[in-house]
A = this chain, B = another copy of it.
């Protein structure tokens, strides 16, 4: 690492979202900061990348902070790829993504542009962290979360992360009561139970809006959902190796 660490910031809510502005304010205290973030909301884009269209990525000045910033037309993962391969002179020491407006706990990691950006940093071999606040409001209280975010970033800058590992940090909505601390946990076994709102357009054709509610099937007290429900900040180490290693032996017996 150079004298001052180089920190890349991304998100999925767009470069002007309060969440990323708060995250920038934290990491400006820790190193030289470059922001490459989407020019428009990219929530629920998962690990999508732009292969059939062009990408724009232009410098932008949003506030008086010392960070360099670029606004990108692509997905969160596009932003990280562009940053690492085109914008930055050297590999960053840390990638942080967020602070997402809304939870990315449990199975939400799969849909999340914020977490996919962090995962992409991990794939590039850079210690990477995604941060999410369980509050969709643009006026959410990020303030109480910032000291914890700073502490986690400092620890990762100091200790690094294992290869193929990324951290998924979720912070409960602030309800006036101080957070109890940071809990290392596993991804809860939950999922979305979807409903679609079926409507008719002015030309009498059907269309659908996706809706639904999250259901936690997991009764464990070692999950991210448990942590959040109990006013802890959850921190899940995640891997980019999706292999179900424990099933390889069983499946070899299938005699295909």
In the complex, per-residue mask of A43-62: 1 if CB is within 8 Å of any chain B CB, else 0: 11111111110111110000
How far is it, in angstroms, between the C-alpha of A152 and the C-alpha of B185 when the chains are bound? 35
By the criterion CB–CB under 8 Å, are A85 and B46 in contact?
no
The answer to whether the Cβ of A31 comes within 8 Å of any Cβ in the partner chain is no
- The answer on a CB contact under 8 Å between A82 and B123 is no
Contact of A187 with B243 at beta-carbon distance under 8 Å, contacts A210-B78, A237-B251 already known: yes
Contact assessment for B251 and A243 in the assembled complex, using a CB-CB cutoff below 8 Å: no
B187 touches A55 (CB 8 A): no
How many residues of A are counted as interface, with CB atoms below 8 angstroms from the partner's CB atoms?
A: 76
Contacts of A58 in B (CB 8 A): 205-206
For A189, list chain B residues within 8 Å (CB): 164, 241
Min Cβ gap A27→B in Å is 17
Closest to A110 in B: B47
Q: Evaluate contact between B237 and A247: CB separation under 8 angstroms.
A: yes
* Nearest B residue to A41, CB-CB: B52
A247 to B239, CA, bound (A): 10
**Closest residue of B by beta carbon distance from A123:** B191
A148, closest chain B residue (CB): B256
* Chain B residue with the shortest CB-CB distance to A159: B254
Q: Select one of B82, B210, B238 contacting A49, CB under 8 A.
A: B210
Which residues on B sit within 8 Å (CB–CB) of A165? Answer: 244, 247
Given contacts A54-B207, A84-B194, A235-B251, 19 further A-B contacts (CB under 8 A): A44-B51, A46-B116, A48-B48, A54-B208, A55-B208, A56-B208, A77-B111, A86-B196, A109-B242, A110-B119, A110-B123, A148-B256, A155-B256, A164-B189, A184-B252, A186-B243, A187-B243, A236-B242, A238-B242
Most B Cβ at <10 Å: residue of A124, A151, A185, A241: A241
